[in-house]
Chain A
Amino acid sequence: MGRYLLRRVLQMIPVIIGTTLLIYALVFALPGDPVKAMFGEKPVNDAVAAQIRAEYNLDKPFIVQYLLFLKNALTLDFGNTFSGRPVIDVIGDAFPITIRLALMAFVFEGVFGVIFGIIAGLKKGKWYDSVILIVSLLLISVPTFVTGFVGQYLFGVKWQILPVTAGRNPGFIDLLLPACVLGSVSMAYIIRLTRTEVASNKTADYVRTARAKGMSNRKVTMRHILRNSLIPVVTYLGADLGSLMGGAMITERIFNIQGIGNTLWQGILRGEATLVVSIVTLLVFVFVVCNLVVDLLYAVLDPRIRYE
């Protein structure tokens, strides 16, 4: 177990170096000069532009820029944004908000997805199975921005029961609607996944054996059907938590939540390589850790899996 963990952690190093290099190259390759864009449609003052380029190392060749970034990143100095704020502060402001939103969406999709999935799976073919199926199909097919704007209009503007936007330092109520919108698509997938697993495990040999031995219905369901059905669900949830942490650009913009997704979007628009790469580095890190946790959870759910 310990050696396995160490190996996985060491694997993260090339992954992070590779992705940052790739993202840095992509931002660098974006057409347009960010310094010139700062002047808008007004004349560009070349002396000032040269000064700004020198300050952000934009006058150096690509690979030198990247190595300088990497060198500073090792000392946790991610540089400044074009507005003069340390990148680490920008992330420090945005990330806690995204974590809150992601965890709420995660709990929402996990709890409701599994519950509805189990109900539908155990009572396959009944009318509520059909209703759950149709609703989940609807949620999958409607894009998030539609759910977002419609939800915002109905709950926020028309009925005025939930806040329209999250605003500063959003709390539980502010993030309730965004979290539901954000989690709705994944919830629908989890419903379908759980339903299929439960339905197929229900007729598995070991379940029949357990029943034949006289085990109570409750115990069979809890210990044999559910536990075995949850392995693919946990895989999905783990990967999903990673992408939820990456911030939801669309949802965050609709509800004016100043999280990672929104910040990243602004950074790309302004061509701020340091900001974009720093955020992506963090996201890669989060994603890799989430995957590691999922892999470890397998061992808990399925005793046959052992890590040596």
Chain B
Amino acid sequence: MRLHSKVIGAALCVASIVAPLAACGGSRSQQMDGMIISYQASEPQNPLIPGDTNETGGGHVIDMLFAGLIGYDKDGNVVNEVAKSITPENGNKRYRVVLNDDWTFDDGTKVTAESFTRAWSYTANATNAQMNASFFASIKGYDALQKSGVASDAQLPGLTVVSETEFTIDLTEASATFPTMLGGEAFFPLPDSFYDDPAAFGSHPIGDGPYKFDSWTHNQNILVRRNDTYHGNFPARNDGINFVIYTDADTAYSDVQAGNLDLLDNIPSSSSVTFQYDPTVQAVNNPGSVLQTFTFPNDMDHFGDDEEGHLRRQAVSMAINRETLCKKILGGTATPATDFLSPVIPGYSDSLDGADVLTYDPDKAKELWAEADAINPWDNDTDVLKFSYNADNPSAKSIYDAVAHYVSNSLGIRAVTNPVSTFAEYRQEITDRKLKTAFRTGWQPDYPAADNYLVQLYDSAAADGNGANDGDYKSPEFDKLMDKAAAAPTIGEANEYYQQGEEILLNDLPAVPLFYQNAAIVSAQGVHNVETNWKNMPVLQDVTKDME
């Protein structure tokens, strides 16, 4: 018996001590030679295939690995990459694309017209279940590819290859801003090797961008290295980017403070006020492209799309002090909204007619509320204005608590919040149109153009579950302006129509703009050239750091 206990005890001891030590023997770090910039990231939720990537975890990596027909500079302006020219024909209903013939993929094959048309058809084809399929909805023949049982290699009839360096795109409707979309992830080209084994490609992508894929250790990091054959507009000034995966923003922030991580653009809410004064890090804080709003469903009691509803929506909007909200609650990491776009998007304006409904004026708000009461009285005993939000969003609670406070103080009505526990549940209630309250909405643009904000969110064609018009707002007048803008010969003229459309929105307020979320970045000491782009991200190619 004594022997037994000793043997077992000793065995347990040895096992428990040796296991972790043996593990130490493994390689602790990868080869990180040269100037590799480490950047906080999240584990991609889809394989690293451009057409299947619709969230930031994979999107940031894809953006570094691929170059499309065009690219965007940090202010959201379009510059040609693989495309030599993109020319509209037939009143913006057809585009003729001519390519530069000296671009190659990392595997040495040429980037040709087919690299684009085949990739786009693959993504648009519902059989292939790619997340970005909807981006091709404006191309002729898209609907036919949405039926079940379509062959997985069926091509989009709207794309015609003319030669190795030329193809045309036929649209179902005229669009002036269509070319601005073409720098997005959905429109990146794919090499022929992709079609042999899409799954293998998804874990080891081959692109034509400023960086080359090196390795992906799941839940740990993704390493990309500079691509020396890239000769586009955005060459890398460092040797590579190491996307380090974190599940907790606080942890990543601690790593920046300790100098273990170079860049972080997801500031934890616990540091959202203090990061600008933290002596252990460097901070950048610029107005960004994400617009935060709350939406009124069209059939909400007292707040519908009629005269009473418009007055009440305006009253609620004017009851909120956006300046104080941005400064006190969000610590200066947001900028009060003045339109339905954002300051980094071409077409932005801070002086639209009717933009005063976005300023704080409690007296005017009370007047408007009284006018609405004259049409259909509000009963303070039974009527409550509710604001719904998803509780897993780190800052939503403090924002909507403040909004509800402002509204009940300024208007003297009962206003409360209605938190929904998770984002998935929240979106489900919205898509099923179960929420009959005002609800939090946010918009991060897919490409830097006004139509991406306005048409996708407020056009009648996007209502009733066909798009992101979650409040089912319908205004024939607004739709007409959107169509006019799409057919306008230049983007400048298009933007004039878009602004007229915004003025209608400012009266009807299908959603109330609150603020533009700033692009906030902290970097470790010794990191240089950190600038933000229209995606609220650092311009990774430009970042450099001191080497010891």
Name A's B-contacting residues (CB within 8 A): 30-34, 36-45, 47-48, 50-52, 55, 82-85, 89-90, 93-94, 96, 99-100, 103-104, 106-107, 149, 152-153, 156-157, 160, 163-165, 167-175, 253-256, 258, 262-263, 265-266, 269-271, 297, 300-301, 303
Closest residue of chain B to A32 (Cβ to Cβ) is B424
C-alpha gap A38/B533 in the complex (Å): 25
B173 at the interface (CB under 8 A from A): no
Contact with A along B1-37 (1 / 0, CB 8 A): 1001100100000011101110110111110000000
Q: Is B127 a contact of A51 with CB atoms below 8 Å?
A: yes
Report A-chain residues with C-beta under 8 Å of the C-beta of B129: 48, 51-52, 55
C-alpha gap A240/B202 in the complex (Å): 40
Contact with A along B120-157 (1 / 0, CB 8 A): 00000011111101100000000000111000000000
The answer to whether residues A36 and B126 also contact, given A256-B247, A266-B43, A297-B8 and a CB cut-off of 8 A, is no
The answer to whether residues A100 and B431 also contact, given A52-B129, A84-B47, A153-B254 and a CB cut-off of 8 A, is no
Q: Is B427 a contact of A160 with CB atoms below 8 Å?
A: no
C-alpha gap A263/B218 in the complex (Å): 11
B466 at the interface (CB under 8 A from A): yes
C-alpha gap A271/B426 in the complex (Å): 14
Report A-chain residues with C-beta under 8 Å of the C-beta of B257: 157, 164
Report A-chain residues with C-beta under 8 Å of the C-beta of B24: 171-173
Contact with A along B420-464 (1 / 0, CB 8 A): 011111111001000000000111101000000000100000100
Q: Is A269 a contact of B422 with CB atoms below 8 Å?
A: yes
Q: Is B199 a contact of A169 with CB atoms below 8 Å?
A: no
Report A-chain residues with C-beta under 8 Å of the C-beta of B323: none
Q: Is A33 a contact of B248 with CB atoms below 8 Å?
A: no
Q: How many residues on the B side are at the interface (Cβ–Cβ under 8 A)?
A: 77
Contact with A along B165-197 (1 / 0, CB 8 A): 000000000000000000000000000000000
Instruction: Say which residue of B134, B202, B443, B462 sits within 8 Å of A84 (CB atoms).
Output: B202
C-alpha gap A41/B130 in the complex (Å): 16
Instruction: Say which residue of A96, A149, A164 sits within 8 Å of B255 (CB atoms).
Output: A164
Name B's A-contacting residues (CB within 8 A): 1, 4-5, 8, 15-17, 19-21, 23-24, 26-30, 43-47, 54-55, 126-131, 133-134, 146-148, 199, 202, 217-221, 244-248, 250-252, 254-255, 257-258, 260, 280, 392, 421-428, 431, 441-444, 446, 456, 462, 465-468
C-alpha gap A90/B218 in the complex (Å): 8
Q: Is A41 a contact of B258 with CB atoms below 8 Å?
A: no
Instruction: Say which residue of B19, B43, B246, B462 sits within 8 Å of A100 (CB atoms).
Output: B19
Closest residue of chain B to A33 (Cβ to Cβ) is B428
Q: Is A172 a contact of B20 with CB atoms below 8 Å?
A: yes
Q: Is A45 a contact of B424 with CB atoms below 8 Å?
A: no
Report A-chain residues with C-beta under 8 Å of the C-beta of B46: 82-84
C-alpha gap A269/B391 in the complex (Å): 13
Q: Pick 21 A–B contacts, CB within 8 A, sort by A.
A: A30-B425, A32-B423, A33-B428, A40-B427, A42-B54, A43-B456, A45-B134, A47-B146, A48-B129, A48-B131, A82-B45, A83-B44, A94-B219, A152-B251, A157-B254, A165-B246, A168-B220, A169-B26, A171-B24, A262-B247, A300-B5
Instruction: Say which residue of A34, A39, A175, A266 sits within 8 Å of B54 (CB atoms).
Output: A39
Report A-chain residues with C-beta under 8 Å of the C-beta of B43: 83, 266
Interface of A is mostly: helix
Instruction: Say which residue of A160, A169, A171, A254 sits within 8 Å of B258 (CB atoms).
Output: A160
A234 to chain B minimum Cβ distance, whole angstroms, is 11
Closest residue of chain B to A297 (Cβ to Cβ) is B8
Q: Is B246 a contact of A256 with CB atoms below 8 Å?
A: yes
Q: Is B5 a contact of A38 with CB atoms below 8 Å?
A: no
Q: Is A32 a contact of B422 with CB atoms below 8 Å?
A: yes
C-alpha gap A50/B150 in the complex (Å): 14
Q: Is A175 a contact of B221 with CB atoms below 8 Å?
A: no
Report B-chain residues with C-beta under 8 Å of the C-beta of A31: 421-422, 424-425, 428
Instruction: Say which residue of B15, B147, B220, B423 sits within 8 Å of A167 (CB atoms).
Output: B220
Instruction: Say which residue of B47, B280, B424, B442 sits within 8 Å of A41 (CB atoms).
Output: B442
Report B-chain residues with C-beta under 8 Å of the C-beta of A37: 423-424, 427-428
Q: Is B427 a contact of A165 with CB atoms below 8 Å?
A: no
Instruction: Say which residue of A41, A96, A157, A262 sits within 8 Å of B23 (CB atoms).
Output: A96
Closest residue of chain A to B220 (Cβ to Cβ) is A168
Report A-chain residues with C-beta under 8 Å of the C-beta of B133: 45, 47-48
Report B-chain residues with C-beta under 8 Å of the C-beta of A45: 126, 131, 133-134, 146
Q: Is B26 a contact of A171 with CB atoms below 8 Å?
A: yes
C-alpha gap A50/B15 in the complex (Å): 49
Q: Is A43 a contact of B466 with CB atoms below 8 Å?
A: yes
C-alpha gap A271/B45 in the complex (Å): 12
Closest residue of chain A to B280 (Cβ to Cβ) is A157
Report A-chain residues with C-beta under 8 Å of the C-beta of B217: 168
Q: Is A103 a contact of B20 with CB atoms below 8 Å?
A: yes
Report A-chain residues with C-beta under 8 Å of the C-beta of B251: 152, 164-165, 253-256
Q: Is A93 a contact of B246 with CB atoms below 8 Å?
A: no
B13 to chain A minimum Cβ distance, whole angstroms, is 8
Closest residue of chain B to A52 (Cβ to Cβ) is B129
Report B-chain residues with C-beta under 8 Å of the C-beta of A47: 126, 133, 146-148
C-alpha gap A149/B444 in the complex (Å): 32
Q: Is B47 a contact of A83 with CB atoms below 8 Å?
A: yes
C-alpha gap A42/B443 in the complex (Å): 9
C-alpha gap A160/B4 in the complex (Å): 44
Given contacts A45-B146, A256-B252, 6 further A-B contacts (CB under 8 A): A82-B46, A83-B47, A168-B217, A169-B27, A262-B247, A265-B247
B255 to chain A minimum Cβ distance, whole angstroms, is 5
The answer to whether residues A43 and B462 also contact, given A48-B126, A164-B255 and a CB cut-off of 8 A, is yes
